Amino acid sequence: MNRFAWATPRTISEAAAAATTLVADAMSSDPTGPGVVTVLKAGGIDLLDLMKETLLMPATLVNLQQIPGLDSIHPGEGGALHLGSMVTLATLASHPLVRQRYPALADAVSRSASPQIRNVATLGGNLLQRPRCWYFRAKEHHCLRKGGDHCFAIPGENQYHAIFDNSPCAIVHPSTAATVLVALNATVELIDAKGTVRRPLLVDFFGPPDQDIMRENNLKPHEILTAVLLPAVPASVRMAHLKQGEKDSIDWPLADVAVLLDLTPDKMCKSATVILGAAAPVPHRAEAAEAALIGKHIDEDIARQAGRAALNGATPLSHNAYKLPLFETLVHRAILAAAG
Ligand SMILES: Cc1cc2nc3c(=O)[nH]c(=O)nc-3n(C[C@H](O)[C@H](O)[C@H](O)COP(=O)(O)OP(=O)(O)OC[C@H]3O[C@@H](n4cnc5c(N)ncnc54)[C@H](O)[C@@H]3O)c2cc1C
Ligand code: SF4
């Protein structure tokens, strides 16, 4: 790891003014160039990983941990819930309002990574962590996402890669929380050094490779992700998140699914949201599965049909077709779990 300076701003505008460089830009330029790269650090789990591999060699880290107010969870307007970007995954998973109103989010986060990592990793850093593709994470592979001229995964070892929208880059989005947050129609709050605020939907903040192959989102230099805003959910909405990994903990999912169902008391489905994680470069909406549920009484058969429909349009690669039955089963089970 290179030597670096440490900045501890006390306000959002100081931090935003100091943060000259996006990690995505620093990784796609020459990392051994002049020491002008200044990046934001939250918990540091992903950032230090990249630095230890010398994929990223910043001159200065801007530590967000001393800025008051970014680590709170509190009710917002109209029954919404405000999640500060510096809230740790552990706090998020155990918070009573999150557990009560958004149990699928609490479940997804409580099964992410390990207890030690959840105590340090933050919500903002989790949404902005870089992809896990092993070619991307290896210095010797200068792939498309780092400014190179081809993808090593599509013709190579692609067992952990995408089964939807997997060309020209086949990453899966690495954030488990994002699967549920997209299902919940969450908004992110971003503030720049001049105090300008933008609040895009999380789904629009993320960007697929055909929009910009070197970035996973449209964060701008000098911008801080300050909060995630969750809209109120009607009492008739039930939700579930299920994850399947190679092992039970300390690993990203091979597949994960978030389901939200708006049900009548006799389990007639008024509306449905089905989002697949670890399936595509951004959390993937399974529209055919949603259509298979709307207007139906939720039972075993309908849940199975929706599980099959969730795979409409899948284009598995040479080593990841095993994900198809995995997603089919997870969607089926998540629908039944949500419906109770
Ligand atoms: C063994 C292991 C298993 C894991 N399993 C999972 C899993 O199952 N699911 C999952 O989702 N994740 C998993 N992770 C990833 C882990 O959760 C993330 O690395 C972590 O959440 C990143 O958060 P952080 O606060 O440490 O971010 P940092 O590493 O500090 O930052 C990450 C990125 O976000 C930027 N950034 C951070 N905060 C802000 C902000 N507020 N505004 C603007 N930019 C910001 C930084 O500049 C950096 O680019 C795992 C990690 C490990 C090591
Ligand atoms: S999948 Fe994307 S990140 Fe991985 S090697 Fe291909 S271009 Fe690079």
CATH code (residue 37): 3.30.43
Would you give per-residue pLDDT tens digits along the chain (340 residues)?
889 999 999 999 999 999 988 999 899 855 554 357 899 999 999 999 999 999 999 999 999 999 999 999 999 888 999 999 999 999 999 999 999 999 999 999 999 999 999 999 999 999 999 999 999 999 999 999 999 999 999 999 999 999 999 999 999 999 999 999 999 999 999 999 999 999 999 999 999 999 999 999 999 999 999 999 999 999 999 999 999 999 877 889 999 999 999 999 999 999 999 999 999 999 999 999 999 999 999 999 999 999 999 999 999 999 999 999 999 999 999 999 999 9
Rounded distance from Cα 129 to ligand 1 centre (Å):
4
Q: Whose CA is nearest to atom 3 of ligand 2?
A: 136
Structural domain contains residue 299: yes
Instruction: Return the bridge partners of 122, or none.
Output: 88
Structural domain contains residue 331: yes
What the block records as the tokens of 129 is 């962590």
Instruction: Return the bridge partners of 38, or none.
Output: 60
> Which of 65, 83, 117 is at the close of a domain?
65
- d(C-alpha 273, C-alpha 186), whole Å: 13
Structural domain contains residue 95: no
Domain count, the chain: 2
Rounded distance from Cα 89 to ligand 1 centre (Å):
10
- d(C-alpha 280, C-alpha 295), whole Å: 28
Ligand nearest to the CA of 141: 2
Q: Assess whether the C-beta atom of 102 lies below 6 angstroms from ligand 2.
A: no
Ligand nearest to the CA of 143: 2
| 3-class secondary structure, 231 | coil
Residue 153 phi, psi dihedral angles, 5° rounding: -75, -40
Q: Whose CA is nearest to atom 38 of ligand 1?
A: 125
CA angle, 328 then 330 then 333, to 5°: 110
Q: Assess whether the C-beta atom of 205 lies below 6 angstroms from ligand 1.
A: no
> Which of 46, 65, 84 is at the close of a domain?
65
- The number of residues in the chain equals 340
For 39, the domain range is 5-65
Q: DSSP letters of 276-306? A: EESSSSSPEE-HHHHHHHTTSB--HHHHHHH
Rounded distance from Cα 231 to ligand 1 centre (Å):
24
Q: Assess whether the C-beta atom of 169 lies below 6 angstroms from ligand 2.
A: yes
Structural domain contains residue 112: no
pLDDT at 30: 56
> Which CATH number characterizes residue 288's domain?
3.30.390.50
Q: Assess whether the C-beta atom of 136 lies below 6 angstroms from ligand 2.
A: yes
Structural domain contains residue 222: no
Ligand nearest to the CA of 244: 1
Structural domain contains residue 315: yes
Structural domain contains residue 206: no
Q: State CA 155 to chain mean position distance.
A: 26
Q: What letter represents residue 196's amino acid?
A: T
**Beta carbons of 18 and 9 less than 8 angstroms apart:** yes
Residue 82 phi, psi dihedral angles, 5° rounding: -100, 120
Count Cα atoms within 13 angstroms, Cβ side, for 280: 23
As to burial, measured by CB atoms within 10 angstroms (0-12 exposed, 13-18 middle, 19+ buried), residue 184 is: buried
Structural domain contains residue 167: no
Residue among 20, 23, 19 at smallest CA distance from 9: 19
| Alpha-carbon distance values, 218 to 123, 130, 168, 255, 309 (Å) | 17, 13, 19, 25, 31
> Which of 24, 46, 65 is at the close of a domain?
65
Q: Label residue 297 left, alpha or beta by phi (over 0 means left) and psi (-120 to 50 means alpha).
A: beta
Q: State CA 70 to chain mean position distance.
A: 19
Q: Assess whether the C-beta atom of 85 lies below 6 angstroms from ligand 1.
A: yes
Q: Assess whether the C-beta atom of 162 lies below 6 angstroms from ligand 2.
A: no
- d(C-alpha 263, C-alpha 270), whole Å: 6
Pairing of strands 255-263, 197-198: unpaired
> Rg of the Cα trace of the chain?
20
